[in-house]
Structure 1
Amino acid sequence: MRPWLGIALLTVACGEGPSLGAGLGSTPGHSSASEGSGSGSSADTWADEGGEAGDGAGDSGAANTDIPGDADPQLPFYESAVELGVDLVHNANAHHFSMPGQAWADIDRDGFLDLVLTTQLANNRVFMGGPGGQFTTPSWAEDIALPDQISAGAVFADYDNDGWPDLYITAMGPNTLLRNLEGEGFVDVSEAAGVGDPGVGETAAFGDLDGDGHLDLYVTNNDIASPDPVYHNRGDGSFEDVSHLLELDTRSRPSFSASFFDYDLDGDVDLYVANDKQVGNVLWRNDGPGCGGWCLTDVSASSGAGVELYSMGLAVGDYDSDGDQDLFVTSIGDMALLQNQTAQGQPEFLEIAAEAGTQVDTLGWGEVGWGAQFLDYDNDGWLDLYVALGKQDPGPQQHNMLLRNLANGSFAVVDEVGGAADPRMSFGLAIADHDADGWVDLLVGNSGDRYALYRNRSGEFQADRHHLSIELRADSSDAPISPEAIGARVYVHDDRGRTQLREVIAGSSLGAGSSLVLHFGLGHAVPVWVRVIWPDGRVDQWQDPPVDTRWVIDYPT
């Protein structure tokens, strides 16, 4: 493999560097380059300076990496929703099988993450974060209540590029787009924007399909009579329905979840849709302009991604640390772990759930996996997996599952996880380090039951493990990308030779919007460099970045 091509082209960049926060010293060394259109092979982006792609990543025998030992016997999570001020029961509609919705964002840009939760037979709720992880209800809470709507999923994204995260809520009936009024409330702009699809909405995903700097939208409908809509953002506050770009047959399947991400590392976002009823999931490869507007090619069969399951939830993450995004798909009984082979030169997926230990034998018909997320809950530098489970049948519920990454391509179930394994009918799942303590927390939506916020307390007994959280911003009106840099890829290389990848993804799991702040566990290592590949292809790199903090990186202009 050839070394990373961009290194030879790096020059000192103009503009300000990232915001480090108080007491972190000088700005790290900064350099920049352009990735170039369609140049994003794994070797281009993955190798260290002078090294080869994949050095120290993924192999169980790789030198100079933190290989985790046995899991700490102390319980990593405890349920803290009511204690922290998040007190909401999801009132389910018995006649409509729809999801709890949960979404994180800093609505008022005060530095604390806020939370929106949906419910079907009562008002949606908003909880504003504050010091100590506590939440309060704002005076404008009625703006997002939508009492006449059977709400389902929720996700934040700044669709109008004004610097404030907006909110999209799916529903049985018309969906709702709420524009953020500079942190002082929301206003319904669904009709004016043209995105109030009247289907059976579940999950919404935002991504910039055509690279024009404005976020486009895909919505899943769990009803074959309501094809999934695709909306192109015109950049003037409105959207154009471009559903014709995708074949009607593939949009007319009972879908639950979807995500935009760059599976083949070519510099543009692709689209994956998880479908119920064993009709096959769909992977759309982004092939650029043409085809009556934009070319999206169905590569489900040729890539191996079109698994035929009762697909519900979707997790996207580089669990094997080889430099490309893998997928975990929940279902009834058997689930799928799709290992991406792009880093090995083949843009395709292998289904390896049984070999990797994510096919849990206790699951059977009637016990269903719903939302799922990759996260590094123990900050050892390897993405673990959390799965929300819930039976549709009467009787005892299935425990939710935390699977620990063993750093050798396989996972093991963590038997003692505290409240995060409580047996409820769990559907939704969104992650965030909501209290900014350096450890990722879980927000679980339980149908017909109380929402649960599982606070990660691993730092109490693993305080020697490092982390770095990175928030990307593009607030300048001159920036050619969305203000939240949705679609950007971030690489962190540490002093033990390991490189980790995260991508800014808006909409995943199931009816959920996790925090867009990217979390990197580091174990006992410290970061050596951070590389950002922005959605427009620009590449920036910083040497000697900070550690054990949240680091804001602004798009250089």
Structure 2
Amino acid sequence: MMSRVKANCLGFSLVIVFCPVFIFQAHAQTPSPSPAHPGRSYDSGPVGRKPPAPAPQFPSPITFTDITTQTGINFKHAASPTSQKYLPETMGGGVALFDYDNDGRLDIYFTNGALLKDPMTANAQPDKTDPRFWNRLYHQKIDGTFEDVTEHAGVRGVGYSMGVAAGDFDNDGYVDLYVTYYGGGTLYRNKGDGTFEDVTKKTNANPGGWATSVGWFDYDRDGRLDLFVLRYMDWDFVRGSLACGATVRAYCHPDNFKGVAPALLHQKEDGTFEDVSMKAGIADPTGKGLGIAFADFDNDGLTDIFVANDSVRQFLFHNRGDGTFEDVALLSGAGYDDNGKTFAGMGVDAADYDNDGFPDVFITTLSNETYPLFHNSGDLTFTSRTSVSGIGLITLLNTGWGTRFVDFDNDGWRDLFVAQGHVLDTIESSTSYLNYKQTPILMRNTGKGFVNVSNSAGLTMSLAARGAAFGDLDNDGDVDVVIAQTNGAPVILRNNGSKNNWLGISLSGLKSNRQGLGTRVVVTDSTGAKQIFDVSTASSYLSSNDPRIVVGLGTKTAQSIQVKWPSGVVQTVTSPAVDRYMTIKEYSK
């Protein structure tokens, strides 16, 4: 990986971090950030640098069709750009794919910005009054088109919104929403009648701060979902008006601001939340979290947390099983890149890409860095596979955000999709070989590494992409993609599918949480080969994914499905039919 050149222009990374406390207002005692290196933009690199030749493109069995217009969705993210180049303007928004009315079809929720004054005064806050800044909920109709139900549902949002997580926190069978914003988070309880209720105050669910990515999980296996909320930086609109950029004003690099700890909110028996960040051991104040991924990295039955941090060390919180976590990122080898340097962590996912039985980690970063791929050795240590996998050459000139491991062609190997777009809308004036708008990347997993198949897959659109969510919108057994742009319209990509066999799995918990988040699913095919899945809606960047698992089988069939619930219940389904979805309900014993 190439080292990043520090300048005072911003280089965003997605990081997943929870902060117990976030300093939201300006503090007179905070020292002024040091000036940036003159004459360099964030990504310009050494004078005279020549860009490397692009990675070769390969034919793709996977193809996508842009169906945005056909869906009837007319949302446009409004960033409210100013001459001050406030950081929230370039961070974009997220997407949630979830079925809020239990009709069997995925619905879509987009987060949005808010009106910013130019400049913002000391006590001013972003204004969401104008409908063009509302977050939007789209209900999918039976014909595959979507209708805007935001007003009726009551989920227009608060402040300058960022991330979203969908989860049934009260186990009533209806999926709820948690939405982050500059200032904290909002918990919307799904009432089951097509409307939502803001229960943030009564549940004590707002940790404050500049909250970014958020995820639902049950870290203590008590059957109630808890919240992990990442916070980005100790930033406000006064200090955020710092002039950055060597030749033109640009977004400031996060090195100019202090970090903030993430927040862990434990759900109590009465449905309220308690901030346990300090006693749980996750309150590291150096964090600049943008992306979260949950997985059981050491196969001990407990959900661990990986946080993608921007330009500081990454976090890997190992679940000790007693309500506390230990950050093992440094000792594990996943805290820095393979040169021992920090990088701009932004989006992240964890999954077993090589089918060896242990979840691996992939992180998106800034251009002139490569997207790290950390291979899990099985003992809580990781080795970098960025270069040998082929990912290094493919990603060097790109800036990535939303991402996920998905087997798009159902051949039994999980591929990688990355939504891309540079942080700086001025980058082309300082670095001729970099672009603000970039095409998405699809890296196909061949079983021996990854190859770039983006062009032949139909991913030729240039986007200022940020969040991305993944799910089977049309219930045809292959995973589709919804991309959010900053200050632009989303892109909805339909996966055109393959002839390979597949198996779709939905979970219904009884003693465990209703959605089965944190469950380990092991699918054995007709040859005896196994694939593992840790059920989670988190990962990517600011987004929430379809909770269902789609297992690619190639030409094979399924021999068995083993389900290891968070409650400790283990059950097995033998000889399941393929090419269809099935629901597995937790045993009562």
Normalised by the length of structure 1, the TM-score is: 0.81
Q: CA deviation at 1:218?
A: 1.0
Partner SS for 2:539: coil
Q: CA deviation at 1:504?
A: 0.9
Select 1:444's aligned residue among 472, 483, 500: 483
**Alignment partner, residue 446 of structure 2:** 406
Find out whether 1:326 has 2:357 as its counterpart.
no
Q: CA deviation at 1:144?
A: 0.8
Q: CA deviation at 1:249?
A: 6.4
Deviation track 1:381-413 (CA, whole Å, cap 9, x = no partner) reads 1100001111123344222110000112x1000
CA gap of 1:467–1:238, structure 2 versus 1, over 3 A, is same
Taking the aligned partners of 1:504 and 1:468, their CA distance within structure 2 comes to 15
Partner SS for 1:514: coil
Retained in 2: the 8 A contact 1:387–1:401?
yes
Retained in 1: the 8 A contact 2:138–2:150?
no
Deviation track 1:162-208 (CA, whole Å, cap 9, x = no partner) reads 12111001111131110001142101111111122321111001111
Question: Which of 431-440 and 249-258 deviates more?
Answer: 249-258
Find out whether 1:130 has 2:118 as its counterpart.
no
The code of the aligned residue for 1:426 comes to A
Retained in 2: the 8 A contact 1:126–1:141?
no
CA gap of 1:75–1:549, structure 2 versus 1, over 3 A, is closer
Partner SS for 1:356: coil
Retained in 1: the 8 A contact 2:420–2:438?
yes
**Alignment partner, residue 359 of structure 1:** 392
Q: Which runs of 5+ in 1 are unaligned?
A: 1-69
Find out whether 1:90 has 2:77 as its counterpart.
yes
Find out whether 1:105 has 2:68 as its counterpart.
no
**Alignment partner, residue 311 of structure 1:** 345
The 5 A counterparts of 1:347-426 are 347-360=380-393, 363-364=396-397, 367-393=398-424, 394=426, 395=428, 396=435, 397-408=437-448, 410-426=449-465
Taking the aligned partners of 2:446 and 2:394, their CA distance within structure 1 comes to 19
The code of the aligned residue for 1:131 comes to I
Q: Which runs of 5+ in 2 are unaligned?
A: 1-56, 115-132, 234-257, 337-341, 429-434
Taking the aligned partners of 1:235 and 1:505, their CA distance within structure 2 comes to 22
**Alignment partner, residue 23 of structure 2:** none
Question: Which of 526-535 and 238-247 deviates more?
Answer: 238-247
Taking the aligned partners of 2:325 and 2:170, their CA distance within structure 1 comes to 24
Retained in 2: the 8 A contact 1:260–1:271?
yes
- Number of aligned residues: 468
Partner SS for 1:360: helix
Taking the aligned partners of 1:157 and 1:373, their CA distance within structure 2 comes to 19
Taking the aligned partners of 1:336 and 1:73, their CA distance within structure 2 comes to 23
Deviation track 1:429-487 (CA, whole Å, cap 9, x = no partner) reads 110011001111011111111111100113xxx33x1111100012xxxx221100100
Find out whether 1:286 has 2:286 as its counterpart.
no
CA gap of 1:419–1:135, structure 2 versus 1, over 3 A, is farther
Taking the aligned partners of 1:100 and 1:80, their CA distance within structure 2 comes to 20
**Alignment partner, residue 480 of structure 1:** 511
Normalised by the length of structure 2, the TM-score is: 0.76
The code of the aligned residue for 1:311 comes to G
Find out whether 1:340 has 2:371 as its counterpart.
no
The code of the aligned residue for 1:298 comes to D
Select 1:454's aligned residue among 493, 513, 522: 493
**Alignment partner, residue 327 of structure 2:** 298
Partner SS for 2:478: coil
Taking the aligned partners of 1:139 and 1:220, their CA distance within structure 2 comes to 26
**Alignment partner, residue 517 of structure 1:** 548
Taking the aligned partners of 1:553 and 1:547, their CA distance within structure 2 comes to 14
Partner SS for 1:133: coil
RMSD: 1.9
Partner SS for 1:355: coil
Task: Pick the structure with more strand per residue.
Answer: 1
**Alignment partner, residue 108 of structure 2:** 115
Taking the aligned partners of 2:475 and 2:349, their CA distance within structure 1 comes to 23
Retained in 2: the 8 A contact 1:128–1:137?
yes
CA gap of 1:89–1:419, structure 2 versus 1, over 3 A, is farther
- Fraction of identical pairs, as percent: 31
Taking the aligned partners of 1:541 and 1:123, their CA distance within structure 2 comes to 45
